Structure 1
Amino acid sequence: MTAANGTGTPDAVIIGAGPNGLVAANVLADAGWDVVVCEEQPDPGGGVRSGNGPAEGFVYDHCSAFYPMTAASRAIRSLGLEDYGLRWSHAPEVLAHPLPDGRAAVLSRDVDRTAANVEALGHGDGAAWRRIHQMWSEVGPILLDALFVPFPPVRHGLRLATTLGARRLLRFARFGVLPVRGLAREEFTGPGSLLLAGCALHADLMPENAGSSVYGWLLAMLAHDHGWPVPEGGSGQLTTALIQRLESRGGRVLRGQPVREVVVRRGRAVAVRTAAGDEIPARRAVLAAMAATQLYGGLVGWEHLPARLRDDLCRFEWDFATFKVDWALRKPVPWQAPGVGDAGTVHVAASLDEMTDYAAQLATGRIPSDPFTLVGQMTTADPSRSPEGTESLWAYTHVPREIRGDAGGDLTGSWSDREREAFADRIETQIERYAPGWRELIMARRITAPGELEASNANLVGGAINGGTTAIHQQLVFRPTPGLGRPETPVAGLYLASSSAHPGGAVHGACGANAARAALNGDRFHTQRAAARGIRYVIGD
């Protein structure tokens, strides 16, 4: 393989052309490295892809759809992807949570409108919303800076401590581990707190999980700062812009090139070997934008890794599996509650208790009877997604990875055609509770069960979309195993660049950017050490 550096060897090989892999590739290309990205699928992007369907003239997103973390990410914003055709679009409202009594909690980009809405749902709740927004205004930017860099974020941690002072820092630490049910009880009198609880459920954090408050708060506050934008024309436009930027700097994406081995010699990653048996050398580094469980003991044999890592990975915990449905609708969803039709995202659950019941069913291995349903109204967010007057709609919910029963019927988790259709009907019934008659508008639907998600993207192991649980026991220095928390691996020149690494899931590119910077630093250290050894040899000679 001929490289731009003239050596015949690329400086770096990156495994996986999802958002983390492509961000890493761009960072390295900006540093002057010759970069090759190997992608198993014929279409790059991982979970950030879009396509035609489920009816003619409709566009659907394969996995991710709304991008608040992308909008907040310095790693992606710094790439200037708008210069490569990326355009963002917003729904009139960010998020809505319809209620059984015909009202709805509505999260707007405008703080005053949101506070007025939650105040109408519970006396004093508008002031509560302003309090948590004021806290965000003080520490949110610092927290994001700390979140997106390798652990520990010493400089940003000091800024946070200085800003809050000792007493307020302790109170913020308590807030950081508070379950969202506790936040609802302490701060709210009405159902406006469901906006925060639903945001927590975007991950696999349930109402009683430690840390669910801060995760829900983060997503909700990002709505005020950035909205929850979508790429015009489909999520794949974000991938297209990343690739065009990379190629403008000489980088290459090899499609349909699955990597089956990271070649390790003398303790250092020096190449990758593809399924076809071809060896692609890497002069400086290999970056793996793939699940930790597939890299360690998979592409890298255990003989190259410490025994403790193998034991730790046996304890690696995945997030729940995901079941997704896309619809083509003749008209927008006829929601009963005002404001819901203007929201890009809709959370469907009757109450916090129903969310807890859903969480308990997942935790005990049962398919949920009344699944919490996250709905995306994509034409509302981006009119280019379907013909005028129609709606491109999707929804997903979680199901257990290991199914022991069905809380709502006789499903076994085989996800046969019958089971797929039956569970899709169950999701539709959830929406019907708040939008009677909407099913009559369906022109076509596409069902994606957990196994199909993994088949389309090997990183979505068992249908997990966050690269491992976001629960606190597998975050920060515990991600992907205790003591790491950084992109460096036990193999020199090999870096973990996927959402299995800190800071985890969502499309922010930080995992890839951190790995790229670690590779740059590691290469400088390796070069300096080699030069020093050379000097010592000459002197000794």
Structure 2
Amino acid sequence: MRYDDVVIGAGPNGLTAAALLARAGRRVLVREAAPTIGGGARTDEVFGSGIRRDVCSAVHPTGFVSPAFEELDLTGHGLEWLVPEYSVVHGTAPDRAIGLARDPEVRARELGRAWENAVGWAGGEPGLIDDVLNLPGLPRHPAATARFAAAAGLPVGAFTRTAFRDDDARTLFAGIAAHAARPLSALASTAPGLLLAALGGSGWPVARGGSQAISDALASVIRSHGGRIETGHPVTCATELPEGARLFFDTSPRAFTAILGDRLPARYRRRLERFRYGSGTCKVDFRLSAPIPWRDPRFAATATFHLAADAAQIAVAEADAAAGRIPLRPWVLGGEPTRVDPSRAPAGTHLAWAYSHVPAGCDVDVSESIIAEIERCAPGFRDVIVERIVTTGADLERHNANNVGGDIGCGTTSLRQLLARPVLRSTPQVTPLPGVYLCSAATAPGGGVHGMSGYRAARHALARLLR
């Protein structure tokens, strides 16, 4: 069979591109190296039948508001979002926590007006989030986007010193910003935090049944329009691809250049070779006999938790990881999906996951340090652990080639790579080769399960057919 479009990689971006193309009547083939689709949005049963663990991405604030997912009507293809009362709860000590509530009145009461003035406004500004997810394209709401950009370009420390008087608010924001695995002293380290914090009002949801539900919904769109998906089909050379088809690569720039080689113009290839990846991640998944024994009841009303005594602990840990040092005391990002989705495990079994940032390529198991931080804020946690599975930074790359060095964002969010990801142009997915697109999270708007990089590539490709 001849195909109009071939997508290499069945992560969220590749599947989104394929879904839009198939829906437009194109003959689409998706080729995935792994035995299952999903990339960073996969769920397995490694703990046993009926226990559904998210392999990588677990919580989806950007997916919940994604224009791509809305246009494709993923809820009509089986996706159900479960949105907890608190987007995230940050524990600083056994008896002290800070919460980012969805309810604006609760948020104002717990965090104060300063939070709304500095962060909350962005979530309530009509159209702003769509503009941010479409950068570096021209914004439809330039005044709001300019206000967002002015704050986003600051280092976290500089932003929080002027935005908040309260140390709790500074700590909460620092943890949110540190999702991006960047030193908090770096220019533009505020940008990811500002976006995610703004989305606290709409919510940080999980997908019922696990993140695989997002990938399966995208696959349903593809197949319902005649598209084909092949798993277990790695692509290592351009000669392995069908001739005459347009190509969409949901791969890292490293894999993209390896496959296409000298077909790429030398200057463009050099720019991709200069693309920088971020810190690695060491993740621990837990099968528990009971929920984590938090003392603050707000932990029972969220799917996401952060743990660090203060913003300084987060800053030191991120600086260490970026400098190639394993943090002596990590800050911890984690979640308990069975708090909001009991269908993920049978009665009497509970799931949790947690990770910390480590140097790129790190193959060291730092799970004891992670467990110690959870135990510090939830005494008795060790007693409810039945089984744990550790995935080091090096393991993450072996599981998913896009996670270079264990970087789950497929590229650092430095100031340069926020503006030029991977190159500076209004549609960064477009390459110098006619009919060839790079549409992974290495292209703007970057990491997260939202499909926008694939969406933009497909939209551009479809528009060219009408010229």
Q: Same fold (TM over 0.5)?
A: yes
The structure-2 alpha-carbon separation of the partners of 1:194 and 1:55, relative to structure 1 and needing over 3 Å to count, comes to: farther
- 1:63 corresponds to which residue? 56
Read off the aligned partner of 1:54 and give its amino acid letter.
F
Match of 2:373 in 1: 430
Match of 2:450 among 508, 514, 528: 508
Query: Secondary structure of 1:259's partner?
Result: coil
Note if 1:127 corresponds to 2:87: no
Counterpart of 1:357? 316
Is 1:493 aligned to 2:435, yes or no? Answer: yes
- Residues 183 and 322 in structure 2, CA contact (< 8 A), matched pair in contact too: no
2:114 matches 1:114: no
Shift of 1:503: 1.0
Match of 1:142 among 123, 127, 147: 127
**In structure 2, do the counterparts of structure 1 residues 129 and 116 end up closer, same or farther at CA, with 3 Å as the change threshold?**
same
User: What is the letter of the counterpart of residue 291 of structure 1?
Assistant: S
Q: By how many angstroms is 1:444 displaced?
A: 0.6
- Against the structure 1 CA distance between its residues 69 and 155, is the aligned structure 2 distance closer, same or farther, given a 3 Å change threshold? closer
C-alpha displacement of 1:368: 0.8
Instruction: Summarize the Cα distance change of 1:32–1:462 in structure 2 as closer, same or farther, 3 Å threshold.
Output: same
For the 8 Å contact 1:328–1:442, the answer to whether it is kept is: yes
Provide TM-score, normalisation by structure 1. Answer: 0.82
Query: In the TM superposition, what whole-angstrom CA distance separates every residue of 1:267-297 from its partner, at most 9, and x where no partner exists?
Result: xxxxxx1xxxxx52344x111111112112x
Give the alignment of 1:198-237 within 5 angstroms.
Answer: 198-225=175-202, 227-237=203-213
Report deviation, 1:87. 1.3
* Distance apart, 1:155 and its partner CA: 4.8
Aligned-residue CA RMSD (Å): 2.0
Select 1:299's aligned residue among 259, 262, 269: 259
- For 1:362, the aligned partner's letter is A
Code of the aligned partner of 1:200 = A
CA distance in 2, matches of 1:68, 1:155: 21
Task: Find out whether 1:320 has 2:313 as its counterpart.
Answer: no
Letter in 2 for 1:504: G
Cα deviation, residue 55, structure 1: 4.9
How many residue pairs get matched? 466
Residue in structure 2 matched with residue 187 of structure 1 by the alignment: 163
2:383 aligned with 1:440: yes
* Paired position in structure 1 for 2:243: 281
**Bigger CA drift: 458-467 or 97-106?**
97-106
Residue 154 of structure 1 is matched in structure 2 by 138
What amino acid is aligned across from residue 306 of structure 1 in structure 2? P
Contact 2:83 2:205 (8 Å CA) reproduced: yes
Note the C-alpha offset of 1:59. 1.5
Match 2:42 to one of 35, 39, 49 = 49
Residues 173 and 89 of structure 1: is their aligned pair in 2 closer, same or farther, counting only changes over 3 Å?
closer
Match of 1:249 among 204, 210, 225: 225
Instruction: Please tell me whether Structure 1 or Structure 2 has the larger radius of gyration of its CA atoms.
Output: 1
Q: Does the Cα contact within 8 Å between 1:40 and 1:257 map onto a contact in 2?
A: yes
1:56: Cα distance to partner?
Answer: 5.4
| Distance in structure 2 (CA, Å) of the matches to 1:150 and 1:286 | 23
Aligned position for 1:534 = none
CA distance in 1 between partners of 2:372 and 2:430 (Å): 47
**Is structure 2 residue 87 aligned with structure 1 residue 87?**
no
CA distance in 1, matches of 2:120, 2:402: 37
Which position in structure 1 is the counterpart of 2:236? 260
Alignment correspondent of 1:5: none
Aligned to 2:24: 31
Q: Once the 2 structures are TM-superposed, how far is the Cα of residue 57 of structure 1 from its aligned partner? A: 4.1
Counterpart of 1:146 in structure 2: which amino acid? D
Q: Please list the CA deviations of residues 362-414 of structure 1 after superposition, one character each: whole Å capped at 9, or x if unmatched.
A: 13211111111101111012111123354200011111116xxxxxxxxxx4x
User: How far, CA to CA, are the matches of 1:515 and 1:437 in structure 2?
Assistant: 49
Secondary structure of the corresponding residue to residue 432 of structure 1: helix
Q: Give the whole-Å Cα distance in 2 for the aligned partners of 1:19 and 1:457.
A: 13
- Aligned-partner Cα distance in 2 for 1:424–1:102: 23
Cα distance in structure 1, aligned partners of 2:115 and 2:64: 22
Structure 1: how far apart are the matches of 2:388 and 2:407? Answer: 22
Deviation, 1:23, is: 0.5
Residue number in structure 1 paired with 2:288: 329
Provide structure 2 residue ranges, at least 5 long, that are not aligned to the other structure: none
Residues 65/261 of structure 1: CA separation in 2 closer, same or farther (3 Å cut)? same
Distance 1:431 1:101 in 2: 9
**Corresponding letter in the other structure for 1:129:** W
Distance 1:253 1:428, change over 3 A: same
Contact 1:184 1:193 in 2 (8 A): yes
Residue by residue over 1:166-201, the C-alpha shift from the partner in whole angstroms, topping out at 9 and shown as x without a partner, is xxx5x6543121222222211222212222211111
> TM-score scaled to structure 2, two decimals?
0.94
| Cα distance change of structure 1 residues 434 and 287 upon mapping to structure 2, 3 Å threshold | same
